[in-house]
Amino acid sequence: MVHASFIDYLDGYDRGDKTDNWFTLAAGVSLYFGKPADTDKDGIIDSEDKDPLHAEDVDGFQDEDGAPDPDNDMDGVLDVDDQAPLEAEDHDGYKDKDGVPDPDNDGDGILDKDDQCPGTDNNLNTREDKDGFRDDDGCPDPDNDGDGIADADDACPDEAETPNGYEDADGCPDNKPAVAVDKGKSIVLEGVTFATGSAQLTESSQSILDKVAATLLSEQEIEVEIRGYTDNTGNYDKNVALSSRRVEAVKKYLIDRGVAGARIQTRGFGPENPIAPNDTRAGRAKNRRIEFFRIK
């Protein structure tokens, strides 16, 4: 800017032209006072916003940094689909899409890290059965003793059945009795014979009856009826009486071996109920017999 003057000596010097002129130069800075920038409009100014171009998602997780967190727990399941957005999914093959960690998949009280059968989506029948047998491994044991009989049907779940044709379905170990008789059925005691026309047991009969006694002593619940038969030779009444004496002789033998007499009933039938024709020697020999009928 130029300033004109009509006098001299403004600057302290008299130059004789009566006027002093001078110049001034001014410079200025304009300042604007307003709100700080918040580009993504998330309430966090850009200078403090880790991601000023993307708005904070405000979900209670690191909301002060200004950056959205679509997967808070970083488990690969987006928060919108994550039922536990602050707890990472454990990705073990069991409900991995819900975003929730499952420390005990099968809910048997044994943590997966200690559970040999933790369970997966494709195998859920892994819960420990808590039956006192290996309950700390986390695996169910439907057949504890491995005898092929499920514990639910096994009378002795911790003792293996001994398959021997005798009560094999109960799951209990047992020795096959020398003489096996099912309840309500009878068997012929082959080899039990008597002297002709008498109730005297032959020596060869003793080994058979010893086995019968052993069976009755080992199976205390068994009660039997000893039935005696003859062939049709001779007088009917005498044959009935003979068969009665013979079954009594068998009963006495068993009692002498320790079997309780109350468990044994006897009955003589004489020539009734033949199992073979009486017109041959072989047939008559078959009809002369001692049978065991199991009552209980």
- Domain ranges in the chain are 1-67, 186-294
Sheet of 224-229: strand order equals: 186-188, 289-294, 224-229, 264-270
The CATH superfamily holding the domain 186-294 is: OmpA-like domain (3.30.1330.60)
Q: What pLDDT is attached to residue 209?
A: 94
Per-residue pLDDT tens listing for the chain (296 residues): 555 555 555 555 555 555 555 455 555 555 556 688 888 788 888 788 888 888 888 888 887 887 888 888 788 888 888 888 877 888 888 888 888 888 888 888 888 888 888 887 777 778 888 888 888 888 888 888 888 998 889 899 988 888 877 778 888 987 666 566 678 888 888 899 999 999 999 999 998 999 899 889 988 999 999 999 999 999 999 999 999 999 999 999 999 999 999 999 999 999 999 999 999 999 999 999 999 999 98
Question: Does the pTM of the predicted model rise above 0.75?
Answer: no
- Whose tokens are 């068994």? That residue is 222
Enter the tokens of residue 66: 């200004």
C-alpha span between 187 and 180 (Å, rounded) = 9
| H or E element in which residue 281 lies | helix 281-287
- State the Cα angle at 221 between 220 and 227, rounded to 5°: 95
Q: For residue 233, which of 184, 192, 181, 197 has the smallest C-alpha distance?
A: 197
